[in-house]
Every structure is written in C-alpha cells, then in structure tokens.
Structure 1
Amino acid sequence: MADVKFMNLSENDNPATTDSVLIGNASDGLKRTSLGNIVNLAKIAGPVVHLEYVEGTSNPSATDDTAKRTIPIQAPEVAGYTFAFWLSTATIGGVRPTYVEGPNQSSTKVWIYYAPKEDLTYVDPIKIGLEAVYVKSELM
C-alpha cells in the first residue's frame, strides 16, 4: 500500500507560494502542487482589456436613405486581443441619438436619429466616436 502523507493546513490567512494544496481530476487522480504553480497558471502577460477609439462620419449626400442614416464602423485588429463589443457611442460636435446595430460585431453600422420629416438634403455630415473593447485572446 502506498505511503500517504497529509499536510498541515494553516489558518493564518497568509499562505506562501511554497505552501502545497491537493489538486485532482478524473484522469490523473489527486496530486500535490504548490500555490506558486497555481499562481503561474493564472498569470497573464499585459492588460486583460484593451480599448481602441474609433471614429466615423455620415454621408448625407448618399442617394440611399439607409446610407444617409448609418455610419459603417470597423474595429481595427489588435495583436494579442480579440474584439468583444462596442462601448460609448456618441456624436461629436452635435447632439443626436445613436444606435449600434451589432454591438458585439467588429464590423457593423451606427444608426443616426433624424426627426421624422427632417430634410436630409441640408444636413451636414455627422461625426461619431466610440470605443472598441477587446479582451486578451488567450482568455477567449
């Protein structure tokens, strides 16, 4: 029969990375490992979340009504990160409500509100800004 050793567990709320714990799974059974190994497993290099500011401009001279009311946006590629969602869309230099059509799609449209019966012939281009939120790729 195998020699089984038990660990003394301290309750001082001050564990050291050299302290050991039991870990286990169905294929390997129970093993002893240090807290340092568990900490190393959870370490991630660099920030977990990354933000990229993106701007777009409307095209009120477009012939298609949808093209006049929407601004296409594309999240840039960021090495080591995966696009997650759009955050904080706002018009720049004016006040208009906006709506992101696909908030979790890296390529989508932002809709601009125009009042009913507003003549789009005389509307200046509208600029919008929003944040693309990314998460570290190894976490996705």
Structure 2
Amino acid sequence: MSKWPDDDVILYDGVCIFCSRWVRFVAARDTAKRFRFTPVQSEYGARLARTFEIDPEDPDTNAVLHGGEVFMKSDAALTVLSQLRGWNWVRALFAVPKPLRDFVYSLVAHNRYRIFGKYDACFVPDAELRARVLE
C-alpha cells in the first residue's frame, strides 16, 4: 500500500457505544490534539475501511493510520495509547504475542453491541471533538 495522505486518523464504528467512548477517551487525553477521527459510517470512513479491507457494513476492527502505516485490532489500540501522554507504558504490551492480543480484541469486538449496546445513529460529538472528525 502506498502512503495514505492523512496521518493520525482513527477509524471507528460510530454506532458502537464502546467505540464512541474509546474516541472520547482518546480525545480527552490527546492534549496535543494529534489524532483525528472518522466513523466508518461516513463517506471518508467507508472509503478508508474498504481500502484496508474492512467491511463498512460490519466492521470487526478499528484502525489507526500512524506514521503512514495502518494498524488494526490490538496493534491499533496499543499504537494509539502509546502516543498519549502518560500512557507510553502500554508499549510493554506489544511483548504479548499478537495472536493472543488479537484473540482478546476480536472477542470483545465481536460481542461489543451485546455487551455495551449500540446507538440508533452515529453518535454526534460535541463541538470541540467535532472539529477533529473527518467525514
């Protein structure tokens, strides 16, 4: 894959309550406002999803573009967390074998609507967060 023109973009499921809370969690701790966000339900998000072979109708992972590369599943979550001030300790979790990390990630992702619930429509962020959303 050639380099994507945007960087530090988090692709997430905008109707997933857990995923939307993840976005708010990251935004609140990203004091440098480095990361931007795009729901898979948006035109831009769906285009990203298809590019990374994620089904926009049934996304099974979030993804993050960082350093011109795409990271998915546990790599995406750990990459994002490791960039947040005070969270660089999570880099140690990369030592956990990827198949194990991704198994746990996939277990939660597969059951996220049942466990955490689902919005009827893509969640609408407040004005400050909205400025960081790509659609």
Settle same-fold status: TM greater than 0.5: no
Structure number with greater Rg is 1
Specify which structure has the higher proportion of strand: 1
TM-score (norm 1): 0.21
The TM-score with structure 2 as length reference comes to: 0.22
Q: Greater RCO between the two (CA within 8 Å, min separation 6)? A: 2
